[in-house]
Chains A and B, each alone.
Chain A
Amino acid sequence: MQKEPILRVEGLRTTFTGDEGTVVAVDDVSFDVNEGEIVGLIGESGSGKSVTALAIMGLLPKSTSQVTAERIMFDGRNLARASDREMRRLRGGSIGMIFQEPMSSLNPVLKIGDQLIEPIRIHERISYRAAFDRGVELLTKVGIPSPVQRMNDYPHQLSGGMRQRVMIAIALSCSPKLLLADEPTTALDVTIQAQLLDLLLEIQAETKMAIVLITHSMGVIAECADKVVVMYSGRIAEQGPVTDIFDRPGHPYTKGLMQCTPELTGNPRRLTTIPGALPSLSALPPGCRFAPRCGLAQPACEAGRPPMIGVGQNHASACIRADELVASAAQPEGAEV
């Protein structure tokens, strides 16, 4: 029998209250992350993927947001019921997180060293000296040259890529069991993106930690992930093992995403973008939220929320025409082979 997953999210829902009323940013999201697994969370900006990660971490501002979930099981604990204190102990300890903006995610007035060893000092009883040495070690590990000097530098003295390496080092500093990486490479140059992804994979291979990799790039997913969760407008559109998703996408949105990524299709002429934009969270369509942009939409799509339909081993899609899609995807490929 399969082991318990390290993270199991069930029925996560997040709402924001603002001047214009209450909006649901994440609606009934459930997925599992197994130990040592890399799960790709993909979607357009505003699809709710970052919010999902922040909700798991308990980092959303309490004054404006409400997080509810049936369960968020992490390492045998239900984070949905955890106290602030428990959450603090987990954050930076068993769960690390990397953010999208390396430029602004480091405190400009504190030394790299101080920021790096802070989680170590918070979570472990350890002397400053030992923590400092560990920091140097971590910087070496993430590939930062002359780490001892860097410890005394300030963030503005480092390039963006270097800063993101520092962020990775911070996230790794307490050997987390789970790493939430929120678009860790988006803000960086393409070459540096690749280096960093390689670094992450290298470290993952070594430490066997689980990673939730949030991205909007199917290319990144293809390169790194074991499993994919596709989000659209606060809901999960499709999830499944990465090979299944790429070979037999069960949702028109997933298909569209893949077509946006030239290196996946290998055919620049088929580079198409999905027409239209994400619906506003305050004016959501009644049925399938993708229906207004969907080339395959039928009147039934607007009738109600489409259920998750299993289309393979651990592969499910929230599209009433999922079976059709999976079948059609398999067909031409099979025919050609």
Chain B
Amino acid sequence: MLAYTLRRIAQAVPILLLVSLISFGIMQLVPGDPAAVLAGPNATPDELIKLRQTLGLDKSLLSQIMIFYGNLFQGDLGYSIILGEPVLKVVLERSPISISLALYSLVLTVILGLSIGVIAAMKHNRWIDQVAMTFALIGVSVPNFWLGLVMIVLFSVHLGWLPTGGYVPFFEDPVGWFLAATMPALSLAMMQIGLLARLTRSTMLEVLGQDYIRTARAKGASEPRVIIKHAMSNVLIPVVTVLGMILSVLLSGSVIVETIFAVPGIGALLGNAILGRDYPMIQGGLIFVAAVLLMLNIVVDVLYAWLDPRVRVQ
């Protein structure tokens, strides 16, 4: 198990290098000017030219990138052009916000997705199944940013239940965090809830038809016991493998949701960095995010092995 984990981590290193090369390649193709972003829409061309010199943007992109790699190997991700702060510091400040939002979404996804899927499977072909699956289908078909906009109007403006967005640090005000994060988390999670509910239902139907479920019933196990102990333990295996996928989608899907709900997460940070041509931030941030995602995949694979004894022993 340990060897397996270490091997997976070793495999991640060349992938990270590739990630950074790809993002470098893309950035080399991106036209535009971070000075223009910094100067804002009312800046005059004259101010802009001077700002470019000030920021050292008149150097070639190649030499900027060389500087970046030089620093990278010293563990320094450089300074953001737009924010004027160290990339690593900003990324470390922001990622907990995104990760906590993604985890909240994940909790919503798992609770709602699993229970909708399980209920639908248990009431297979009854009206509850139909309603649940219609809900799941709508979930996977509605664009999340649109859902976010509509939710703001509904829950903030008309009903006044939830704030329009923003971010409240969890440890300062858990209730405030909960209120502020609910709409973004829900609009992020909606599609994943749909996907998970559909996956859970089909897996559950498959598992409920297995011989070992019959065995469990033949032992006199009650229906809840059959579902929870015998069926769920098997349903969870494919579910866990998609959870990694879901979490990475939640983390990257947050670009647009974070923008709409004014959540200062890593998604909004990198989205703005790309739109603002903040090259050091894009490079450093993407490597960081890719590393997190790769790590997440490793965790999921290890978790998968732990859940499925057939894989574990091999």
Contacts and interface: CB of A to CB of B under 8 A. Distances in A.
**A touching B, CB within 8 angstroms:** yes
Interface of A: 54, 57, 59, 63, 88-93, 96-97, 99, 101, 104-110, 115, 118-119, 122-123, 154, 156-157, 167, 170-171
Interface string B203-216: 00000001110111
B222 A104 contact: no
Contacts of B212: 104-108
B89 interface: no
A119 B233 contact: no
B233 A107 contact: yes
Interface residues of B, number: 25
B230 A105 contact: no
Contact of B221 (A99, A122, A167): A122
A108 B207 CA distance: 11
A85 to B, nearest CB: 9
Interface of B: 124-125, 210-212, 214-222, 225, 229-230, 233-234, 237, 307-310, 313
Given A101-B211, A104-B211, A154 B310 contact: yes
Which of A92, A109, A171 has the most CB atoms of chain B within a 10 A radius of its CB?
A: A109
A294 to B, nearest CB: 35
A105 B234 contact: no
B234 A122 contact: no
Given A59-B214, A105-B212, A157-B313, A93 B234 contact: no
Contact of A110 (B211, B217, B230, B310): B230
A135 to B, nearest CB: 13
A37 B237 CA distance: 43
A96 B215 CA distance: 10
A22 to B, nearest CB: 16
A118 B211 contact: no
Contacts of A109: 233-234, 237, 307-309
Given A109-B309, A154-B309, A154-B310, A99 B214 contact: yes
A94 B294 CA distance: 53
Given A57-B218, A107-B216, 13 more contacts: A63-B125, A91-B217, A91-B220, A92-B219, A99-B211, A99-B214, A99-B215, A106-B212, A107-B215, A108-B310, A109-B309, A115-B215, A156-B313
4 A-B pairs closest in CB distance: A92-B220, A92-B219, A154-B309, A91-B220
B160 to A, nearest CB: 45
Contacts of A167: 215
Contacts of A157: 313
A118 B219 contact: yes
Nearest to A116: B219
Contacts of B210: 104
A122 B219 contact: yes
A90 B218 CA distance: 9
Contact of A108 (B214, B217, B221, B309): B309
